[in-house]
Amino acid sequence: MNKRRILIVDNNDELRVLLEQALGKLGHEVIVTGEREQALGRDDLDSFDLIISDLSEAEVNGKAISELHRKHLVTPLGEQFHGPGIIKAFKMGAANYPRSPYNHDELRAIVEQTLSHKLRYLDDPTVLSHFHEKIEFELPSDLGLMNGVLEYLQERVAKLGLIQPDRSNLFVALDEAFVNAVKHGNKNDPTKLLKITAELSPQEASFTVEDEGQGFDIREIPDPCDPANLFRTSGRGVLLIYNIMDEVEYNAQGNRVKMVKRPDGRVEAQLVDPNTPDDKHA
């Protein structure tokens, strides 16, 4: 097993210690810090195989953020995060992981242990109604990593009361999006990255899945509702995603899909405004 360099930036003292111990026991070099200024002062971020950070754009107090830190360390926030409320961020980036011989089991153990510990240190139930969270994953195209990510995201959405896990098909829709991106977009090539973004609030959960493939034209997918295509599997995943999510939107290239889920029973599924010229909608 290769010894990996892992950087953990987190303001929870207990969680930092647990992650340092857990990942250290796997044989990796783990560097931890809770100091924001110290983390933002590092210029060696490209030397790490994996970076785990809870540092958001809101915590830099308007200071300029270098592209290096924005890429690896700081979670950017959109307009929906600028209002009142409690902001949380979580970023796990493994952009440099495939540069050494790729080890599927090694990275899966890191991802699953990290997410398992992270789930234990997130929520004060009294503030969930004012909660806004942005989560970013940038991982090699490996379906073996996705189960841990799926379970983590579903648990986060359930905590906010957006779904009831035993009654929701959210897991199925996200799984379809991940499989499509890994298998059809990146062709199962672990040197190509899969970027997963979740923006969560008590009102809705938005998920974006982007691969590094050539994309596709959503209009060319055979209509799976047409009897002539009854036995064709092409397009069924897209239809499944659309039926589960409240909004589904593809970019013009077809290598990025955005999916929105609102509280169960609150709204019927609908398409987003089709007038955006750069997007294609399911």
> What is the C-alpha to C-alpha distance for residues 82 and 132, in angstroms, rounded to an integer?
10
pLDDT tens, position by position, 192-205: 999 999 999 888 99
pLDDT tens, position by position, 213-251: 999 887 777 665 666 665 566 667 788 888 899 999 999
Task: Take residue 75 and report the two structure tokens written for it.
Answer: 């979670």
pLDDT at 83: 59
Consecutive 10-residue runs of the chain (282 residues): their mean pLDDT? 90 95 96 92 94 88 82 82 73 91 92 94 66 93 95 90 82 94 94 96 93 86 63 70 91 94 59 47 50
Query: Which residues, 6 or more positions from 134, have their beta carbon under 8 angstroms from its beta carbon?
Result: 56, 75, 77, 81, 87, 88, 89, 90, 197, 198, 199, 200
Direct distance between the N- and C-terminal alpha carbons of the chain, in angstroms, rounded to an integer: 43
Q: Would you list the DSSP string of 17-43?
A: HHHHHHHHHTT-EEEEE--HHHHHT--
CA neighbours closer than 13 Å in the CB half-sphere of residue 254: 15
> What is the C-alpha to C-alpha distance for residues 40 and 32, in angstroms, rounded to an integer?
13
pTM: 0.87
Query: Which residues, 6 or more positions from 160, have their beta carbon under 8 angstroms from its beta carbon?
Result: 128, 131, 200, 201, 202, 205
**C-alpha distances in Å from residue 47, one per residue of 29, 77, 108, 223:** 12, 25, 20, 47
Task: Take residue 37 and report the two structure tokens written for it.
Answer: 């200024």
The counts of H helices and E strands in the chain are 7, 10
pLDDT tens, position by position, 166-186: 788 999 999 999 999 999 999
Burial classification of residue 77, based on how many CB atoms lie within 10 Å of its CB (0-12 exposed, 13-18 middle, 19 or more buried): middle
pLDDT at 231: 56
The position carrying tokens 């360390």 is 73
The answer to whether the CB of 250 falls within 8 A of the CB of 218 is: yes
Task: State which amino acid sits at residue 244.
Answer: I
